[in-house]
Chains A and B, each alone.
Chain A
C-alpha cells in the first residue's frame, strides 16, 4: 500500500469527499492558502473559492454560520486553526450545534465537521498546545474523533463528513508529518470501533491519538523484559467502543489509559469508571492513568518535554499496574 503522511491523508479525504458531494463547503481562516500546515492546500484551486472560503478571524460567527448552513442542506467543514481557539466558538458549538437536533424534536440535523489540530509540539506555549477532548465528551450531541494514523485520519474524516451530527475531528499536530500506509481506496471507518494495535496478554493499554505510537514503543520495550501488553486505539472517543476494551481487560486483568491531555478530568477517568462499573471482578489491580500534569503547557523545550506524557510514563504505569496483586499489597 502507498505511504501517505497524516496531513496528506486528511487532504486526500477532503478532496475525495468534495468531489462526491457538492454540498460540502470548507470555512476557515486562510484555508484557500492551505491553512498554517497545508491541510487544505490546492483545494480552493480545485473546487473554487465559493466552496473553500477564507473567513475573517471571527470564530464565533463562523462556527454559527456553519451550523446554520448545515441546518438547510449544506455539509460544512469548519477549520479552527488551533483547538485552543475553539473557546471563542463554544456557544455555537455547545449551545446550538450539539443540541439543535434534540431540542427540535428531530426536525433539525447538524451535519457539521469541525477540524481542529492541537497537542504538544514545537514549544508553541499555553495558547497553542492543548488537548481539550474531555470538554467535548461531556456534551451530549457531539461526536469526538481522534485519529492516530494516516489511514484512520482519512477514513474517519470521511465518516465524520458523512455523519449527520456535529463531529469534532481532533488532529494532532505532532502526527501531521508521520507517514503510514493508506489504501488506494479510502473507505470510511465506522465510528465506535476501536482498533487493537498490538495483541498482548499481561496488561491492556488504551492509548489516545499521539499516545498510540508511544504505547507501541512502550510495548516493544516491555517485551524485552518479558511483558506483553495489548494496545487499543479507541479511534473515536464519542462514541466509545467499550466492548473491545472490556473484552481485553477481562483477559489481561489490568488497564492503563494514556492520553496527552491533563490527567485530571480527562477521558482516562471516564474509561476507568466505565470499566470498573461492569468489570470490577475482572480487574487484578486499579486502573491507572497516564496524562499530563495539572499545569498549563510551558513553552520552554525542557518543560514542554517534561509536561508531555510519553513512552517512559506508559512503561512505568504498566509496571506499577503489574506490581499489584488481588490480595492487597503490591506483589
Chain B
C-alpha cells in the first residue's frame, strides 16, 4: 500500500473514521430501506468508501464536488451533515433538500457538494461549469466530479473531456470503475480496457489507481488537484473499485459470479486500511481503537436515523413551492 509518508497518525485515523461513518450510514440506510422507512431508488456505495474519502480528504472547503446517482459517500466525504442527509433520504422536511431531492438528487451546497444526478454522466457537464466558474473567479478552486464506468460510453462525457482539455479547466475527473454498468460488466459495453485511454486521447494526464486503497486515491488526487490549482488543467483518475452489493437496493445481483463476491473480502477498503494501520503501528494489534471508532460512529448513526425518522414530513404546500427561484 502506498503511503503519504508525512501524514500524522491522527489524520490517518480521521480517514478511517470518515470511511466508517459512510459505511455505518449506508448500512443503516439499507436497514431502514428493508424495513420500509425509506423508499425510492437507492444506490449504495458500500465498498467504494476509499475513493470518496481519499479524494475529498485533500480538498478545500470551497472546492466543489459533484456525484452521480451513487453519491451518499461523496456528500459525506465532502463534509455533509449525516442527519440532514438521512432526513433527505427519508423524505423529511429537515433534509438538505426539504424532501424534494432524495437519494439521487442530493445537494449540500454549504459544504461544496454541488449535486448528484439521476442521469448517467449527467453531472459531468455540470462539473465543467463549476470548474469554469472557479477558473473565472481566480481563487484556485477546483472541482472533482465522480462518476462510474458506465458513464464512460456516454456522449456528454466525451464532450466534457474535450472542453475541459481545451479550456484547461481546474477539474478532476474521478471515475470509480466498479466493473459494472448497472447490471452489465464493462467488457460488454466497450472494447476499452482502461477508461484512462479516453483521457489520453484528449491529452488529459491520467492515472489508474487501486480505488480500495484510500491513500493511493488520496495521493493521485493530491497531484491532480495541485495541477488544477496551478492552472495546469484537468486530470483523470480511474479508481478501480468494487461494488459488493447490487446496482440498487433490492437488486440481487444474480448476474454476478460468486467468485467476484468472494473477492470482496480482500478488497474491502476499510478492512484493508485497518490492516495497514496495524502494520504501521497506528493501530494496536487488536485494533481496539478501530473498534472504538466503529462503535462510536455506529452509535452516532443510530441517533441520526432516529432523529431523521422523528423529523416532520414536508408540508403539503411545499409541493409547488421552489419551482422557480424568487
Give residues in A with beta carbon < 8 Å to B.
25, 50, 53, 55-56, 58, 60-74, 76, 91-92, 95-96, 99-111, 140-141, 143, 164-165
* Inter-chain contact B166/A164, CB cutoff 8 Å: no
Closest to A102 in B: B322
* Inter-chain contact B324/A95, CB cutoff 8 Å: no
Bound Cα distance from A92 to B157, whole angstroms: 13
Closest to B155 in A: A60
* Inter-chain contact A104/B127, CB cutoff 8 Å: no
* Inter-chain contact A92/B163, CB cutoff 8 Å: no
- Contact indicator per residue, chain B 69-105, by CB within 8 Å of chain A (1) or not (0): 0000000000000000000000000011111110001
> Which one, B66, B99, B119, B136, contacts A91 given CB within 8 A?
B119
B13 at the interface (CB under 8 A from A): no
Q: Chain A contacts of B246 at CB under 8 A?
A: none
Knowing A65-B132, A104-B109 touch, does A96 contact B100 (C-beta < 8 A)?
no
* Inter-chain contact B128/A95, CB cutoff 8 Å: no
Closest to A140 in B: B323
Bound Cα distance from A309 to B117, whole angstroms: 41
Knowing A71-B130, A74-B136, A141-B323 touch, does A105 contact B99 (C-beta < 8 A)?
yes
CB pairs A–B below 8 angstroms (9 shown):
A50-B136, A60-B155, A61-B159, A65-B128, A67-B129, A101-B325, A104-B115, A109-B325, A164-B326
Bound Cα distance from A58 to B326, whole angstroms: 31
* Inter-chain contact A108/B125, CB cutoff 8 Å: no
User: Which residues in window 107-143 of B have CB below 8 A to A?
Assistant: 107-110, 114-115, 117-119, 122, 124-134, 136-137
Knowing A64-B156, A69-B132 touch, does A108 contact B163 (C-beta < 8 A)?
no
Closest to B143 in A: A68
* Inter-chain contact B100/A102, CB cutoff 8 Å: yes
* Inter-chain contact B156/A60, CB cutoff 8 Å: yes
B160 at the interface (CB under 8 A from A): yes
- Contact indicator per residue, chain B 148-170, by CB within 8 Å of chain A (1) or not (0): 00000001100110110011000
Q: Chain B contacts of A69 at CB under 8 A?
A: 129-130, 132-133, 136
> A68-B133, A74-B136 given. 16 additional CB < 8 A pairs?
A61-B128, A64-B128, A64-B156, A65-B125, A67-B125, A68-B128, A68-B131, A71-B126, A72-B114, A72-B130, A101-B323, A107-B97, A107-B108, A108-B115, A111-B325, A164-B326
B64 at the interface (CB under 8 A from A): yes
Which 4 pairs, one residue from A and one from B, show the smallest C-beta to C-beta distance? A68-B129, A64-B125, A105-B98, A61-B159
How many whole Å from A76's CB to the nearest CB in chain B? 8
Knowing A68-B132, A71-B129, A108-B107 touch, does A102 contact B115 (C-beta < 8 A)?
no
Closest to A63 in B: B125
* Inter-chain contact A104/B96, CB cutoff 8 Å: yes
- Interface residues of A: mostly helix, strand, loop or mixed? mixed
Knowing A104-B107, A107-B97 touch, does A25 contact B136 (C-beta < 8 A)?
yes
* Inter-chain contact B322/A106, CB cutoff 8 Å: yes
How many whole Å from A191's CB to the nearest CB in chain B? 10
Closest to A238 in B: B324
Q: Chain A contacts of B163 at CB under 8 A?
A: 55-56, 58, 61-62, 65
* Inter-chain contact A95/B122, CB cutoff 8 Å: yes
Knowing A61-B159, A65-B132, A67-B126 touch, does A105 contact B119 (C-beta < 8 A)?
no
Bound Cα distance from A15 to B224, whole angstroms: 37
* Inter-chain contact B134/A103, CB cutoff 8 Å: no
- Number of B residues near A (Cβ < 8 Å) is 46
Give residues in B with beta carbon < 8 Å to A.
64, 66, 95-101, 105, 107-110, 114-115, 117-119, 122, 124-134, 136-137, 155-156, 159-160, 162-163, 166-167, 322-326
Knowing A103-B97, A107-B97 touch, does A72 contact B134 (C-beta < 8 A)?
yes
* Inter-chain contact A104/B101, CB cutoff 8 Å: yes
Closest to B118 in A: A95
* Inter-chain contact A68/B101, CB cutoff 8 Å: no
Q: Chain B contacts of A110 at CB under 8 A?
A: 325
Closest to B325 in A: A164
Q: Chain B contacts of A104 at CB under 8 A?
A: 96-97, 100-101, 105, 107, 109, 115
Q: Chain B contacts of A64 at CB under 8 A?
A: 122, 124-126, 128-129, 156, 160
* Inter-chain contact B129/A70, CB cutoff 8 Å: yes
* Inter-chain contact B323/A102, CB cutoff 8 Å: yes
Closest to B128 in A: A65
* Inter-chain contact B325/A105, CB cutoff 8 Å: no
Q: Chain A contacts of B155 at CB under 8 A?
A: 60
How many whole Å from B13's CB to the nearest CB in chain A? 32
Q: Chain B contacts of A60 at CB under 8 A?
A: 125, 155-156, 159
Q: Chain A contacts of B167 at CB under 8 A?
A: 53
Closest to A110 in B: B325
Q: Chain A contacts of B108 at CB under 8 A?
A: 107
* Inter-chain contact A100/B107, CB cutoff 8 Å: yes
* Inter-chain contact B160/A68, CB cutoff 8 Å: no
Bound Cα distance from A68 to B167, whole angstroms: 15
Closest to B314 in A: A105
Bound Cα distance from A44 to B100, whole angstroms: 40
Bound Cα distance from A109 to B109, whole angstroms: 11
How many whole Å from A324's CB to the nearest CB in chain B? 36
How many whole Å from A142's CB to the nearest CB in chain B? 9
Bound Cα distance from A73 to B99, whole angstroms: 25
* Inter-chain contact B114/A68, CB cutoff 8 Å: yes
> Which one, A55, A91, A141, contacts B122 given CB within 8 A?
A91
> Which one, B105, B129, B162, contacts A103 given CB within 8 A?
B105
- The interface centre, meaning the residue of A62, A68, A69, A141 with most chain B CB atoms within 10 A of its CB, is A68
Closest to A54 in B: B166
